[in-house]
Amino acid sequence: MFRHAQLESVKAFVGDPAHAGVPLHGRIQRAIRQLILDGALEVGRPLPASRPLAQSLGVSRDTVEAAYRQLHAEGFIERQVGSGSCVSRRARLFAGANAPRRPQAAAQAPRLSARGQALHGTGGVNTVSAPRPFAPGVPETRNFPLHVWERLQREVIREHGSAVLAHSPAQGMASLRRTIADYINLERGGHATPDRVLVLTSSQQALTLCANLLLDAGDRILVEDPMYHGASRAFDAAGLRRVPIAVDAEGMQVARLQRQGHDARAVFLTPSHQFPTGAMLSLDRRLALVHWANQNDAWIIEDDYDSEFHYAGKPTACVQGLDPHERTVYIGTFTKSLFPGLRIGYMVLPSALVAPMTVARSLMDGHSPTLSQLTLARFMEAGHFGAYVRAMRGIYVARRDALLQLVRAHLSDFVVPQVPAGGMQLPCFFKPGIDEQAVLEGARQAGVALQGLTALHASRTPQPGLLLGFAAYTPVEMEMAIKPLATVLRRVTGQV
């Protein structure tokens, strides 16, 4: 028999509008199963006979019988002719499975693999879903022509029908690979063909693939110092040993590769617009880099994450286009140039890497969504991509200048801005004696989002400062955030 509370619980479950999609007998069966899993009905407890339970619930006896049959088939109850049904003896083993867990169970360190612990230890990559000043690396999306995107998606659905719902090749849809190759060749001076493009979800996925496919745990990878934290975490997670190479106004100091790079299997860099300093790798260094990689049988991993947004002329041709030896993996993304929620990035690969990378991607997560690939290809083919990037370039350069003015007006006692020729963020170096950690903590309390520069450095004597994102924020929004930041700086430096 049920206690009153148990009967009420069954009634509530059965009457819950959220369960309207489940047939009546299924709702009764699930409600009773829930009571058993929760331990509310102990082993051997007799269940009500079907007739009185049916009356209590206002359903037919057949309905209750159907629920009992299913519970019996699942092994939750035992039935004996004449003596009715009772909770199965086996319930002893799982009773309480649904009870609230002891808090310590969750707090205990789980048994992870060694590589799992390394992965967890990196802290991962935190993406910003509701960006506020001055979170860096986030594009403006409030101007995106969503109506155009929706219209193109409708066209794609009309033309392709239910094929947009099917699996698609792990390498990516042919139409998107073609438009990406055309774009890289035209805009980036690259040497891409559709059969060497691999469509991915993000440059983060590209970095993880490169870290695992090209290097083993313990292998050395040459990186910029300072460097992009998403890349350093992907490399740490893969167990690589990072060898930092200093960056100056012309980008990575490639001459150091000859001395520091002797047994490295790969070099990672952001040549168009170094993250975070904004430096552009000079042509001479690009050529020296290609020469070094070829001599040392090493891979160049070129992350061209925001080359669309270059404000003084065009960025120079990408390293991949200058490399006659097929040593360069080129990484691009639509996260910055279109919108982060899209989840489409790509690599342009040396031909020998196409098959291994495609296989690895198929094991990692299969392939990218079919419909958004087709829609993006059409968006690019129809010229919307180029037009949108041009429009955003104008907006971003104006925002960069607005932020620069704000920094000069409000923060000039504390920081020296380093104006970038491109990208979405303004590096600002602290004047001597300012405690970066104290500023970051004060800003956090004041609700201002900040990325410190120190955390991006491998060297022991980093130049502290801030990386202020400007792309996603209007001048008014930035002004509203720069004032509390100035207050924090005054307080930290004892000027208040």
Q: Which of 4, 80, 81, 110 binds a second copy (CB under 8 A)?
A: 110
Nearest to 480 by CA among 57, 26, 61, 132: 132
Does the footprint of a second copy cover residue 94 (CB under 8 A)?
Answer: yes
Query: What's the min distance (Å) between Cβ of 28 and a second copy?
Result: 12
329: contact with a second copy by CB under 8 A: no
Using rule CB under 8 A, residue 145 touches a second copy: no
Give 281: exposed, middle or buried? Use CB within 10 Å, 0-12, 13-18, 19+: buried
Q: Is 246 in the site for a second copy (CB under 8 A)?
A: no
Q: Return the SS3 of 121.
A: helix
Is 297 an interacting residue with respect to a second copy (CB under 8 A)? Answer: yes
Q: What ranges make up the beta strands (E) of 261-344?
A: 266-269, 299-303, 328-333
Q: Which of 15, 44, 116, 447 binds a second copy (CB under 8 A)?
A: 116
Q: Does 111 bind a second copy (CB under 8 A)?
A: yes
For residue 112, state whether it binds a second copy (rule: CB under 8 A). Answer: yes
When binding is defined by CB under 8 A, the residue of 44, 52, 341, 394 that contacts a second copy is 341
Quote the least distance from Cβ 416 to a second copy, whole Å. 26
Of residues 151-210, those binding a second copy (CB under 8 A): 154, 157, 161-170, 182, 185-187, 189, 191, 200-202, 204-205, 208
Applying CB under 8 A, which of residues 12, 146, 255, 391 lies at the interface with a second copy?
146
Q: Which residue, chain included where needed, has tokens 């504390």?
A: 414
Q: What is the C-alpha to C-alpha distance for residues 107 and 117, in angstroms, rounded to an integer?
A: 16
Binding mask 253-292 for a second copy (x = CB under 8 A): ------------x----------------xxx--x--xx-
Calpha distance 436→426 (Å, rounded): 16
Which position among 55, 60, 351, 495 is part of the footprint of a second copy (CB under 8 A)? Answer: 351
Q: Is 404 exposed, middle or buried (0-12, 13-18, 19+ CB in 10 A)?
A: middle
How many residues make up the chain in this entry?
Answer: 496
**Residue among 1, 97, 246, 409 that touches a second copy (CB under 8 A):** 97
Among 15, 44, 124, 394, the residue binding a second copy under the rule CB under 8 A is 124
The reply on whether position 444 binds a second copy by CB under 8 A is no
**Helical (H) or strand (E) element with 248:** strand 241-248
Task: Indicate whether 42 belongs to the interface with a second copy (CB under 8 A).
Answer: no
339 binds a second copy (CB under 8 A): yes
CB of 217 to a second copy, least distance (A): 8
456: contact with a second copy by CB under 8 A:
no
CB of residue 357 to a second copy, shortest distance in Å:
9
Q: Which residue stretch of 50-58, 91-99, 422-430, 482-490 sits at the interface with a second copy (rule: CB under 8 A)?
A: 91-99
Please pick, from the candidates 10, 14, 33, 242, the single residue that binds a second copy as defined by CB under 8 A: 33
Q: Which residues of 450-476 are buried (b: 16+ CB within 10 A; e: fewer)?
A: bbbbbebbbeeebebbbbbbbbbbbee
Cβ atoms of 199 and 373 within 8 Å: the answer is yes
Q: How far apart are CA 319 and CA 267, in angstroms?
A: 12
Task: Kindly state whether residue 350 participates in binding a second copy, applying the rule CB under 8 A.
Answer: yes
Number of residues forming the site for a second copy (CB under 8 A): 139
Applying CB under 8 A, does 81 fall inside the site for a second copy?
no
Task: List the one residue from 156, 245, 322, 331 that touches a second copy (CB under 8 A).
Answer: 322
| Of 279, 300, 316, the residue nearest 188 (C-alpha) | 316
The alpha carbon of residue 343 and the mean position of all alpha carbons in its chain are separated, in whole angstroms, by 8
Q: Which residues contact 396 (CB under 8 A, 6 or more apart)?
A: 140, 309, 311, 424, 470, 471
**317, 416, 438, 455: which one binds a second copy (CB under 8 A):** 317
Instruction: Tell which residue, 299, 374, 388, has the closest CA to residue 338.
Output: 388
Q: What's the closest the beta carbon of residue 77 comes to a second copy, in angstroms?
A: 11
Question: Which distant-in-sequence residues (6+ apart) come within 8 Å of 286 by Cβ?
Answer: 271, 316, 319, 322
30 binds a second copy (CB under 8 A): yes
Q: Does 372 bind a second copy (CB under 8 A)?
A: yes
Cβ distance 67 to 79 under 8 Å?
A: no
We find the least distance from the C-beta atom of residue 59 to a second copy, in angstroms, to be: 18
CA distances for 431 relative to 245, 402, 413, angstroms: 24, 21, 8
Q: Which residue matches tokens 């022509």?
A: 145
Of the listed pieces 230-238, 245-253, 394-402, 442-450, which binds a second copy according to CB under 8 A? 230-238
Q: Does position 44 bind a second copy by CB under 8 A? A: no
Residues between 9 and 28 with contacts to a second copy, criterion CB under 8 A: 18-22, 26
Residues 7, 24, 148, 371: which binds a second copy (CB under 8 A)? 371
Helix H or strand E segment including 241: strand 241-248
Phi, psi of 96 (to 5 degrees): 90, 0
Least Å from the CB of residue 415 to a second copy: 27
CB of 447 to a second copy, least distance (A): 19
Q: Tell me the C-alpha distance between 369 and 360, whole Å.
A: 17
Q: Which residues of 1-31 are buried (b: 16+ CB within 10 A; e: fewer)?
A: ebeeebbebbeebbeeeeeeeeebbbbbbbb
Rank residues 387 and 409 by Cβ distance to a second copy and give the closer one: 387
